[in-house]
Amino acid sequence: MKPLETKLRAVRDSGRKALVPYFMAGLTPDWTQHVEAAVHAGADAVEIGIPFSDPMMDGVVIQEAALTSLARGTNLDSICADLAKISVDVPLITMTYFNIFHHYGLERSIGKLTESGIEGAIVPDLSLEESGPWHEISNSYDLANIFLVAPSTNTERAKLLAQASEGFCYASARMAVTGKSSDEGDAAQVVAGIRAGSDIPTYVGIGITTPKQAKDASKIGDGVIVGSALVQLLIDGAGPGKIEEFITSFRLAID
Amino acid sequence: MKPLETKLRAVRDSGRKALVPYFMAGLTPDWTQHVEAAVHAGADAVEIGIPFSDPMMDGVVIQEAALTSLARGTNLDSICADLAKISVDVPLITMTYFNIFHHYGLERSIGKLTESGIEGAIVPDLSLEESGPWHEISNSYDLANIFLVAPSTNTERAKLLAQASEGFCYASARMAVTGKSSDEGDAAQVVAGIRAGSDIPTYVGIGITTPKQAKDASKIGDGVIVGSALVQLLIDGAGPGKIEEFITSFRLAID
Amino acid sequence: MTDAKTFMQAPDERGRFGEFGGRFVPEALMPACLELEIAFKDAWSDPAFIEEYNTVLRQFAGRPTPVTPLLRLSEKLGINVYAKREDLAHTGSHKINNVVGQTLLTKRMGKTRVIAETGAGQHGVATATAAARLGLECTVYMGEVDTVRQSLNVFRMELLGATVVPVTSGSKTLKDAVNEAMREWVTCVSDTHYCLGSVMGPHPFPWMVREMQSIIGHESSRQLIELGVATPDFVVACVGGGSNAAGIFSGFANTSARLIGVEAAGGAAVKNGSPGVLHGMRSMLIQSEFGQIEEAHSISAGLDYPGIGPEHAYLADAGRAEYYPIGDEVVLDALQLLSELEGIIPALETAHAVAWITREAGKTIPKGSSVLLNLSGRGDKDVAQVRSLLRGE
Amino acid sequence: MTDAKTFMQAPDERGRFGEFGGRFVPEALMPACLELEIAFKDAWSDPAFIEEYNTVLRQFAGRPTPVTPLLRLSEKLGINVYAKREDLAHTGSHKINNVVGQTLLTKRMGKTRVIAETGAGQHGVATATAAARLGLECTVYMGEVDTVRQSLNVFRMELLGATVVPVTSGSKTLKDAVNEAMREWVTCVSDTHYCLGSVMGPHPFPWMVREMQSIIGHESSRQLIELGVATPDFVVACVGGGSNAAGIFSGFANTSARLIGVEAAGGAAVKNGSPGVLHGMRSMLIQSEFGQIEEAHSISAGLDYPGIGPEHAYLADAGRAEYYPIGDEVVLDALQLLSELEGIIPALETAHAVAWITREAGKTIPKGSSVLLNLSGRGDKDVAQVRSLLRGE
Ligand SMILES: Cc1ncc(COP(=O)(O)O)c(C=O)c1O
Ligand SMILES: Cc1ncc(COP(=O)(O)O)c(C=O)c1O
């Protein structure tokens, strides 16, 4: 079992619902302080987005954040350098698209990420079928790989994805890309599918933008992932105080 | 022999080259006075154009004149009424397109024209082959039919056209529609073709705009026809004085 | 058919179809018309020429064009509509059939240049196209008003190496472009062929152009049989000068099919016209009390002609074909209907025929009838105009 | 060919052509891709489906398109050029072949709606067309910049009953339209098929689209034999995503013909790119030092794509096909040349292939060689732009 999973199982075992906020690396010069603020307010792990020009799985908010970060001249090297500055006691997980690593080199990417304190990776366009080489190398670096399971995933496939996931399994609450949503979602069905395959911690994400939605989702899964709502706040210029306030409101809702 | 031809043969027999100016009927309210002025200055016959919307054989000057006349509300009836006002001792010959007569009725047209003092007709789009019915009726009204012979007409056909012509035969000096021209033309060849078929008076027209051109043409044929140059003068507002002057200059050139 | 006459044969030796047709041109052009008649007859009975013509149509112009069963339109109307797809021919309409033939004939006659008239530009583009292929010089006369309205087609002709001459006489539209082309032909007839764009003008043009378009009818008749339709109940085509109609009618003139020509209401020469002589032919024309030719008015430039080909005047007179007017107001609806139901944006001209079918289904056209529509051209040339009209610009 | 490999077969079970291809999509889309793969395999081996596909191509889309010997161009260049006339297919390019197949497949899968991306609008118009014919709902994603540049094509799609959604993300052009279509597909995959427009995207798209375009190659090979050319020395096609090239190459992959893909210099993924993952596939891409995808730049919207289909990346890698860039500056000359000499105004995309042939005749292409050009589309869509460019506007 990779370190990330050990830690996240521990959170669950403690009876606590995990709260995982998403930050876009390099969105602002002081982005690492935002991460720290979130952890201070009760995040159990943090997703670190690495910006990509063509974020196929992301809605307008994260698209905009990625372009803003890129326009600031960020890249994998600069982001890893920034990561080294973050001092928190919860695991950091990266999320980005496969081409970033493919182009940088798989082993070189994984080496660099883990060296910078990253313990897990979500690569939404790296399908289970294509993940072999990446998985192999990440095993030797103890980097956990997290797969998404979608409402469209059938039970057999959900089982495979759950079993392949490390750290946690990402239950996509709805057929949508990241962003706001108002519908109920299909989290219960997706989580049930994952649990039929594995007892890995299962976090619900995609479209969770309010404490109320987080509360509902946390009743279904073992944790919730909050992305676009937080990124929107940052785009609007939120500082550490505002972030703590935002995270706290989610923390209170799911506890 | 129709009266027109008798008269025009007499002109030739007198050793005089015939001068035939063209007027657009109805171009101005006082157009009939222009005709009289021309005769006063020495015209041997006058061509009276009846305006048609689609004058296929005419260049820009006569096109414009036709539209101006039509815009004044002229028609075959009004033109025939005007014709009755003309008091000259030379023959009047009409020139227009076949549809005017076709629509008005062939017999009705010919009756009306001859009643108004018209002795001959040039209908450039009424080909020899299509002229049968028109010819038949015009015979009973003593209206002479004048055909054009063009540089493209072969000798055999030129002979037929010469023989079918009454009054005079129209030698087209060049492959062109009415209007200005600067080239030498093919009048000699055309006139020779006509003369091979008939001893009918042969007048040269199409593109004769200067006294010099008229002089050259009159050496080839038995007379000359002057259209666009005169019509241009009228479009520009010439009155009887200017017309007499113009005709006189041609008269002097060919005498 | 009222008797056992056979229709759509060659005209008589004077170029007449019944009382219509003939050759009313200035003497300067008569030799060229006579020469053309001889050259056409000679070529058209020469297997080598026919073979070349058919080869160019096949290899270059994209023939045969298909017949498409219009399933969704048929279902909506309760009749069976089949479309002969001239929109798929090179340059986007049936016009190419005629110009391929006439340019080959031009070469055969030893001429090196063609002139043509054009309204919106379809025939001009087609002529420029066929001329380019053979390296013939090409000049196209186009009403000045049309050169402005259809400036892209002017550019298209220029790209193809043609010279476009704006015609400033008369109403500055198609009728005047024909006059001007005739006038110019007078000056250059020795080395230049006048490539007329429809079944109009002096003999032999109406006959020759019909023959060169008859491939539409012959293909259709064979293709309908393959689709299980021995003889369609109706054959419907729009009529400007009437070349696409004549072409498709040719395949069915001596069958039981009802032949329907659809004219623009503002240029309905059969319904609102009377016999007259224009552009070298005796036919039905819209004209004033005193025989002045009136301007046609239509939403579609290709139907904006005050006359109709003489053979159509004859077919109407003989009761063999029927001609109906369609007003501008229903044409856009028809264009939209065909686009939405069948994925084919027709030319505005063609949309007149579609509008007639749509309006008459269940009325003149009994339910269950089979109807062959000549889809004479594609609407790409018209989309900018249609957009303006629909947006009320 | 360096060895006895056979080319252009089905990819391996992971959808790979050598090291290229695969399926790099969010899990939400994986089931749809898997379903599509099964449905396609099933349909493509069902004679009834193939029969329907071929019938629609024949009756509706105008297939077979001819091969035209380009006699005057050949004479000028000293080589023998033959053009496969996809410009004559319905909607004006090869794009219709693919969408006819995919919309029939959509219906077969029980889906009622298609979405598509489009650059200049060719694939969007084709998709809207095929969807209209079957009564499928249709939404087309188009970069906002392109909706302005090509507003007439937007209107054309609307006439055909489609909804056009302007994409405002990223560079607001084709690449972003693909991203957006993928994002939207995530939300509606249960009733909606994503009708991708080229040999790109996740497996099975590159294979399926190639198969649906392979009719170009198969027809051409038969038609060239009829014209006396057993195997052409060169087969040349322009490459955006690479569907027209893949289609024509299919007919000649296992012959001695040299296969040439011509990319826009500003989007030359083979020459200037490196392996990467985008839009669901591993292929050659133009990208920055850190793997950000760069914007392509070309005079022709259809070649304005920073990648290339994975099978082309493989064919290049295997040395079976060669890919060369052509800069904007020679494209207009080539378009004018073909127009003037042959009476065919090609699409700007196609003009790249013409430009390569013109430049290389007597060099890479030895005198006397036979060259098959895929004339992928007509230039009507481009004439306004060409006019502006030539007039320096
Ligand atoms: C598509 C189309 N249909 C019909 C016509 C009318 O011509 P005709 O009556 O000679 O077929 C035109 C003329 O431009 C046309 O472009
Ligand atoms: C005429 C034409 N040719 C080529 C292309 C490029 O696409 P592909 O490389 O998939 O054939 C396009 C794309 O729009 C096109 O319209």
**What confidence category does residue C173 fall into, taking pLDDT thresholds of 50, 70 and 90?**
confident
For Cα atoms D302, D305, D310, give the angle at the middle one, nearest 5 degrees.
110
Helix (H) or strand (E) holding C16: strand C16-17
Which CATH fold would you assign to the domain D62-93+214-390? Rossmann fold (3.40.50)
Q: Whose atoms come closest to the Cα of D377: which ligand?
A: 2
Say yes or no: D386 contacts chain C, CB-CB below 8 A: yes
* Cα B57 to ligand 1 centroid, rounded to whole Å: 27
For residue B161, the model assigns a pLDDT of: 98
Determine the average pLDDT of the residues in A237-243: 96
Q: How many Cα atoms are found within 13 Å in the side-chain-facing hemisphere of A48?
A: 30
Could you report the per-residue pLDDT of A13-25, keeping only the tens digit for each?
Answer: 999 999 999 999 9
Could you report the per-residue pLDDT of D73-104, keeping only the tens digit for each?
Answer: 999 999 999 999 999 999 999 999 999 999 99
Measured CA to CA in angstroms, residue C32 lies from A120, B7, C210, D347 at distances of 88, 35, 19, 39
For residue C2, the model assigns a pLDDT of: 46
Crossing angle for the helix pair C30-44 and C205-226, nearest 10 degrees? 30
Could you report the per-residue pLDDT of D165-188, keeping only the tens digit for each?
Answer: 999 988 888 999 999 999 999 999
CATH number of the domain located at residue range(s) C16-56+95-205 in this protein: 3.40.50.1100
D238 in contact with ligand 2, CB cutoff 6 A: yes
Contact D386 C159 (CB under 8 A): yes
Other CB atoms closer than 10 Å to residue D388's CB: what's the count? Answer: 10
For residue A180, the model assigns a pLDDT of: 81
Contact C155 D387 (CB under 8 A): yes
Q: What sections of chain C are H helices per DSSP? A: 30-44, 47-59, 71-77, 95-108, 122-134, 144-149, 151-159, 174-188, 205-226, 243-249, 269-272, 310-317, 328-342, 348-360, 383-390
* Omega before residue A133 within 30° of 0, cis: no
Could you report the per-residue pLDDT of C186-195, keeping only the tens digit for each?
Answer: 999 999 999 9
| Chain CA centroid to CA C26, Å | 25
For residue C1, the model assigns a pLDDT of: 40
The ranges assigned to domains in chain A are 3-254
Could you report the per-residue pLDDT of B16-55, keeping only the tens digit for each?
Answer: 999 999 999 999 999 999 999 999 999 999 999 999 999 9
Q: How far is C167 from chain B (nearest CA, A)?
A: 11
- Nearest residue of C to residue B124, measured between CA atoms: C26
Average per-residue pLDDT for chain A = 97
Q: Residue D129: list chain C partners with CB under 8 A.
A: 343-344
C242 in contact with ligand 1, CB cutoff 6 A: yes
Could you report the per-residue pLDDT of D23-65, keeping only the tens digit for each?
Answer: 999 999 999 999 999 999 999 999 999 999 999 999 999 999 9
For residue C4, the model assigns a pLDDT of: 61
Average per-residue pLDDT for chain D = 96
Determine the average pLDDT of the residues in C199-228: 98
Q: Whose atoms come closest to the Cα of D91: which ligand?
A: 2
Q: Residue C88: list chain D partners with CB under 8 A.
A: 62, 88-90
Nearest CA to ligand 1 atom 4: C349
Cite the residue boundaries of each domain of chain D with CATH code 3.40.50.1100.
16-56+95-205, 62-93+214-390
Q: Which residues, other chains included, contact B99 with Cβ-Cβ below 8 Å and sequence gap of 6+?
A: B52, B54, C276, C277, C278, C285, C287, C291, C293
pLDDT of D3 over the 70 cut: no
Could you report the per-residue pLDDT of C317-365, keeping only the tens digit for each?
Answer: 999 999 999 999 999 999 999 999 999 999 999 999 999 999 999 999 9
pLDDT of B153 over the 70 cut: yes
Contact C387 D155 (CB under 8 A): yes
Contact between D346 and D338 (Cβ < 8 Å): yes
Average per-residue pLDDT for chain B = 97
D181 vs C367: CA distance, rounded Å: 43
Contact between D100 and D211 (Cβ < 8 Å): no
For residue B185, the model assigns a pLDDT of: 86
Measured CA to CA in angstroms, residue C92 lies from B66, C326, C382 at distances of 38, 23, 12
Could you report the per-residue pLDDT of A93-117, keeping only the tens digit for each?
Answer: 999 999 999 999 999 999 999 999 9
The amino acid at residue D140 is V
* Cα D378 to ligand 1 centroid, rounded to whole Å: 21
For residue D2, the model assigns a pLDDT of: 45
Could you report the per-residue pLDDT of C276-330, keeping only the tens digit for each?
Answer: 999 999 999 999 999 999 999 999 989 999 999 999 999 999 999 999 999 999 9
Contact D160 C343 (CB under 8 A): yes
For residue C120, the model assigns a pLDDT of: 85
For residue C393, the model assigns a pLDDT of: 78
Determine the average pLDDT of the residues in C172-185: 94
Determine the average pLDDT of the residues in A163-169: 98
What is the token pair recorded at C246? 């004549």
B199 vs D378: CA distance, rounded Å: 62
Q: What is the ipTM of this complex?
A: 0.96
Measured CA to CA in angstroms, residue B60 lies from C172, C263, C278, D331 at distances of 13, 31, 18, 42
Question: Beta strands C67-69 and C80-85: pairing type?
Answer: antiparallel
Determine the average pLDDT of the residues in B224-230: 96
pLDDT of B211 over the 70 cut: yes
C261 in contact with ligand 1, CB cutoff 6 A: no
As annotated, the active-site residues of C are: 95, 117, 376
pLDDT of C3 over the 80 cut: no
D121 in contact with ligand 2, CB cutoff 6 A: no
Helix (H) or strand (E) holding D337: helix D328-342
Interface of C with B in 289-328 (CB under 8 A): 289-293
C293 vs A192: CA distance, rounded Å: 82
**What confidence category does residue C229 fall into, taking pLDDT thresholds of 50, 70 and 90?**
very high
Residue D276, SS3 per DSSP:
strand
Interface residue of C23, C27, C167, C184 to substitute, partner B, most B CBs within 10 Å:
C27
- Nearest residue of D to residue A176, measured between CA atoms: D187
**What confidence category does residue C86 fall into, taking pLDDT thresholds of 50, 70 and 90?**
very high
A161 vs A165: CA distance, rounded Å: 6
Which CATH fold would you assign to the domain A3-254? TIM Barrel (3.20.20)
Contact A103 D23 (CB under 8 A): no
Contact between C322 and C353 (Cβ < 8 Å): no
* Cα C350 to ligand 2 centroid, rounded to whole Å: 29
C356 vs A137: CA distance, rounded Å: 71
Contact between C193 and C208 (Cβ < 8 Å): no
For residue D1, the model assigns a pLDDT of: 40
Q: Which DSSP symbol is given to D75? A: H
What is the token pair recorded at D292? 């950000």
